[in-house]
Chain A
Amino acid sequence: MVSFSEIWPIIRLTLIVSGLSTFIAFILALPAAFFLYLNQFPGRKLILSLIHTGMGLPPVVVGLFVALFLWRSGPLGSLNLMYTPAAIVIAQVILAWPIIAGLSLSALEQVDPALLIQAKALGASPTQLLWTLFCEARLGQISGIIAAFGAVISEVGAVLMVGGNLKGHTRVLTTAILQETRLGHFRLALILALTLIIISFAINWCLTSWQQKGINRWRQPSWK
């Protein structure tokens, strides 16, 4: 019989690393998206292409590069982060960042530039203009968060490579499912899989409700 106390640390760590990595990626991606939206410079197209490539980056490749950096002999080896939750967060931030940056930028580009001129003409300061822009592009940004969270919570390759699946230390739901399946503990694997799906669904439900509320309020057909 599987007890809740047995799987709770795994659920808690999953929520912490996936939530934290999505949050950090959002904080880092948003200024980048704003910068790319507001500035034209040589090499911008190259950066956009790299971001779009990054949106489909294979997790094992990310895991490999993070492992190379965090390995004892690597450039960041002295930090002793390999096989820690911090290593998982780093790998997941790298996976989530391009997704949020790319989708946020697309959302910003859909805002009518004339609306910002109108905001300025109504007396908005530069900071208020950025806030207005953020609010106008909110729906697309939520899509970015949903997509990034979905990608990192279900990710297994990079987590396994840099986290190591250490019980009670770096084991998350995906790596636990993998482990239990390998051991033939299908019942436990199924419970963990179901838990992962429920958590993922619950969080996406909240985010989607927030997003759809915005859409419903925003896009009432004019003929109604």
Chain B
Amino acid sequence: MATTELEIKNLTHFYDGQKILNIPYLPVQAKECLVIFGPNGAGKSTLLRIASLLEKPSQGEIYHRGVLVPLPAPLSLRRRLVHLLDRPLFFRGPVRDNLLYGLKIRGIGHKEQQKRLAEISAQFKLEPYLERQPDELSAGEKQRVNLARAFILQPDILFLDEPLANLDVRTREEILVEFKQIRKEKGQTALLVTHNREEAAYLADRMAVLVNGEIVQSGKPEEVFASPATVEVAHLMGQETLVEGTVVGQEKGLLKVALANHFLYTLGTCSPGEKVTVIFRPEEVILAPEKPESSVRNWFHGLITEIKALDKLVLVSLDCGFKLKAYLSRPALEELKVSVGRKFWAGVKATSLSIKPFKDGPQNETTQLKRIL
């Protein structure tokens, strides 16, 4: 059974008299990578500073391996947690000195320092850079040195604040893979904050969505992406289409929902007359020039209004009486001859839709606590 490395309980934090964090309970399990995901200004970095014992919360308790941490935290305990800021900052001197900084201030012996340096340099492929100045390194190399100087300390928990925010796509992907692999190998517990969906999805064993200082949902990333707890989380998870509707009733085991000028079928247990928000995920929407014979239950005829080229896919917007979006691959776009102004059929399986009660907002503390526990 997984042990709990860190627990945050009844945390409230104020800044300039304004409550910016309100977290009843947040555990970090041993060897997991917990990702705090949220928009800018949600309080992610403050939460990370509090969790890493760098900042004292206005109220609340922090438990380290089940023991209540006195705040401000003693240095001996602070040294068991390592926090990397949102950009790599280096001390004067070569990479070697920077890697050894944390070991030296902990009074670790020379022999052990050299042993750990050799090990970590090999893991992060830093041997050629040890005598170079950090200023001479590329952004990706700098970030690798930054991560290595945290791993070399073998902390109980590693705290990372948007570690890959300033990197180009290719470097970020390389470091993501490297970080995940080394973290898994070492069984390093990590708490990471990010506003990048792909980063969160790739790295997280578990993720917690922070909105306006409150954790509105937590769970495995695939659960959070597939079934966002609120409309706001759905937006954050990239669910491009949210449509309001009213539940009409049940039909053949499916819930029938009336939209502005359509009916749609989905799974759910809402009562007739209840107002709901239907969440369409663009990757689940199929496009066809003619309505095909298929098991797909929901078909909408709409005019293509916009085609937006993305990194690897294309996002097609349709006006079906409501706005609907679908991802297409580039070959599919050409084959289907999709263009702005043409009418297409958009299909969505009943099982691919999710619905939320229309009256939305962060759940109360008891609901949050139950969900997290």
Contacts and interface: CB of A to CB of B under 8 A. Distances in A.
A125 interface: yes
Contacts of B159: 121
- Chain A's interface: helix, strand, loop or mixed, by majority? helix
Contact of B91 (A117, A125, A136, A220): A136
B14 to A, nearest CB: 20
A198 to B, nearest CB: 32
Given A217-B92, A218-B133, A120 B149 contact: no
Interface string B145-179: 00001100100000100000000000000000000
A54 B280 CA distance: 71
B315 interface: no
A115 interface: yes
A224 B91 contact: no
Interface residues of A, number: 25
Contacts, number: 65
B84 A119 contact: no
Given A217-B133, A218-B133, A220-B133, A121 B54 contact: yes
Contacts of A224: 136
B85 interface: yes
A49 interface: no
A123 B93 contact: no
B135 interface: yes
B106 A123 contact: yes
A183 interface: no
A216 to B, nearest CB: 10
A84 interface: no
Given A121-B54, A122-B153, A217 B93 contact: yes
Contacts of B136: 220, 222, 224
Interface residues of B, number: 28
A168 interface: no
A214 interface: yes
Interface of A: 112, 114-115, 117-125, 128, 132, 135-136, 138, 214, 217-222, 224
Given A122-B105, A123-B105, A219-B135, 20 more contacts: A114-B87, A117-B54, A117-B85, A118-B84, A119-B101, A121-B159, A122-B82, A122-B102, A123-B78, A123-B102, A124-B105, A132-B91, A136-B92, A138-B92, A217-B93, A217-B94, A218-B133, A220-B136, A222-B137, A224-B136
Interface of B: 52, 54, 75, 78-79, 82-85, 87, 89-94, 101-102, 105-106, 133, 135-137, 149-150, 153, 159
